Amino acid sequence: MRLRFWAIAAVAMAASAAHADARRVLLIVNDAQELDLAGRIAGQVADLDVAIVIATASLPPDLDGQLAQARARAGEQRAEAVVWLCVSGGDWLIGAAQGDRVVTRRLARASGVLSRSASIEAVALAVRTDLKGLATRAAIEKDAAPRPPAPLRPWIELGWAGVLEGGTASGHQGVAARLGAAFGRWRAAAALAYYPAATLSSPLATIRLERQELGLVAGVDLLGLPRSKTRFRLGLEIGLEAVRFPRTTTLAGTDLKPTGSADPWSPAIAPLIRLAYRFTPTFWLAFSLGTDLLMRPPEFDVANGTGFERVSALRVVAPRGTLSLTFDPF
């Protein structure tokens, strides 16, 4: 039996000699019949990029014990994969492992010369399939290794802004700018906006009102990943702002006295949805639509002899939009 083992091992080594850099596979068999099977397996995998090393061992009856011993023997032989064969309940039990991947099969073990030869061939083909599958999965996992994250990148934006704050029917219009950084699909920026003075008129008074915003914005791109060739990006943003309203009463009605100039302000939250279109490799046209939620909406009054009369008041909820040119190289 030992002479027979070395003869089969020599065949396997000869079949693997052309694969000097091939994946080293340890094939563990138990008895003489399995040695015949080992020779058939060596022939079936001769065209694969594997180098078969044959060893004999008496394996435990349970699968966990077989796997542990097979991996230990593979470590001793410096094999990347291990295949073991044994008989269980009259059937062939085939096990194959590479790394943390394990495959097991049970095939019928036939009697008779022709049937036995056919069953041995079926086992050899099954081992060939398992070795190819383990190699393919290893290659897929290697190719699918996570890409390094996109680097932290600057982005800058400048454009038009408009808000329907309630002071005038046409809304308040101005310019907005952002300067920030992005990491992957996440972005953050310092944001500011300036709305030149607009006129609020009523029979009581005429008021000139500016609007100034300073805040921080954070957002996430839901569609359109960085480093992709996408033309569009769709994302959500949330802004935290301090909004200042410098105002001057330029004209008061009869028997009314203009109040002095003042600069009321209010904290605000601004949820937005943002759509961007890339028209050059580094420049985008971005449109945002959302609302301002003013925590302390200001009211504007004039003084009479007994107190104050309201001229206008701004809304708590003010729809807003921006149209901007954005520099973002990713």
Instruction: Kindly list the structural domains of the chain, giving each domain's residue range(s) and its CATH number in brackets, ordered by start.
Output: 2-143 (3.90.950), 153-327 (2.40.160.20)
> Average pLDDT in the 122-132 region?
83
Coil, helix or strand at residue 11: helix
pLDDT in the model for residue 304: 67
pLDDT in the model for residue 198: 87
Count CB-CB contacts under 10 A for residue 65. Answer: 11
Q: Which H or E run contains 302? A: strand 299-303
Please state the pTM of the whole predicted model: 0.53
Backbone angles phi, psi at 158, to 5 degrees: -145, 135
Residue % of the chain over a pLDDT of 90 = 30
Q: What is the residue whose two structure tokens read 């490799």?
A: 281
156 vs 70, higher pLDDT: 156
pLDDT in the model for residue 195: 95
> Average pLDDT in the 36-59 region?
80
> Average pLDDT in the 165-187 region?
88
pLDDT in the model for residue 253: 66
Structure tokens at 181: 């950084």
Nearest to 159 by CA among 171, 175, 172: 175
pLDDT in the model for residue 5: 46
Q: Which H or E run contains 324? A: strand 317-327
Question: Predicted confidence band at 209 (pLDDT cuts at 50, 70, 90)?
Answer: confident
Give ∠ CA 191-193-196 in degrees, rounded to 5: 170
Q: Which H or E run contains 227? A: none
pLDDT-wise least confident of 138-147, 233-242, 275-284, 316-325: 138-147
Structure tokens at 308: 């104050």
